[in-house]
Amino acid sequence: MRRLLRPVTIRRIAILLAVKTIGLAGCTSQPAAPTPVSAAAAQAPPTGSVEPGPVMGGSAAADQPLFDATNEATIQHNPAASGADFAAALAGAGFAASTLQYTADTTSAGLTAASTQFSAQLGAACLIGQYGAGATGYRSIVAATLNGLCLVGGAAIGG
């Protein structure tokens, strides 16, 4: 079954260009347990909004440039972005809110987490991003799901 491509917008072009100019840093921190994304949190991205629906190619590898550009824009807009901020921006960029997860921004001892992870599940694959001082910036990967989830830690995917 063929997917219809959405029209190219200035925002998409800017996002894709931003991806080409931004380098990714290494990741060294362990994440906290994932938190589901609420429908309310996924409604308002930090800048503009994009019509909902399938993103660029519909696969994790094809959608990684949009995932990265959206997360980089979130960081640029708010260097102290939380997991909920990343999830809201990803939902605004067209990733289905029901497929998004993020880890807690605080540790079980109540301290600020060194980094947060956030993910979008696309079929049996996941786009997983990590950001924070403990991660030395932003980084993302494409990975297979584990037990049907992208971030495993006892929380369900929200929607």
**pLDDT by residue (tens digit) across 52-62?**
444 566 689 99
Distance CA 82, CA 76 (A): 13
143 contacts 67 by C-beta, under 8 angstroms: no
Q: What is the mean pLDDT of the chain?
A: 73
The DSSP string of 7-49 is PP-HHHHHHHHHHHH------------EEEPPTTTTS--SS--
Q: Is the pLDDT of residue 68 over 80?
A: yes
Report pLDDT for 134: 80
Q: What is the mean pLDDT of residues 72-92?
A: 94
CA distances from 31 to 77, 83, 91 (A): 23, 11, 21
Structure tokens at 157: 């995917």
Indicate if the pLDDT at residue 89 is higher than 50: yes
Q: How confident is the model at residue 2 (pLDDT cuts 50, 70, 90)?
A: very low
97 near 52, Cβ under 8 Å? no
pLDDT at 25: 34
Average pLDDT value for residue range 87-96 = 93
Residue partners of 144: CB distance under 8 A and separation at least 6: 124, 125, 126
Q: Which of 36-40, 73-77, 85-89, 118-122 has the lowest mean pLDDT?
A: 36-40
Three-state secondary-structure class, residue 74: helix
Amino acid code (one letter) for 40: A
| Per-residue confidence (pLDDT) for residue 57, from 0 to 100 | 64
Q: Give the pLDDT mean for 1-27.
A: 43
Which of the two residues, 148 and 57, has the higher pLDDT score? 148
Instruction: With H, G, I as helix, E, B as strand and everything else as coil, classify residue 125.
Output: strand
Strand order in the sheet with 100-103: 34-36, 100-103, 116-122, 125-132, 137-144
Lowest mean pLDDT among 15-29, 53-67, 107-121, 145-159: 15-29
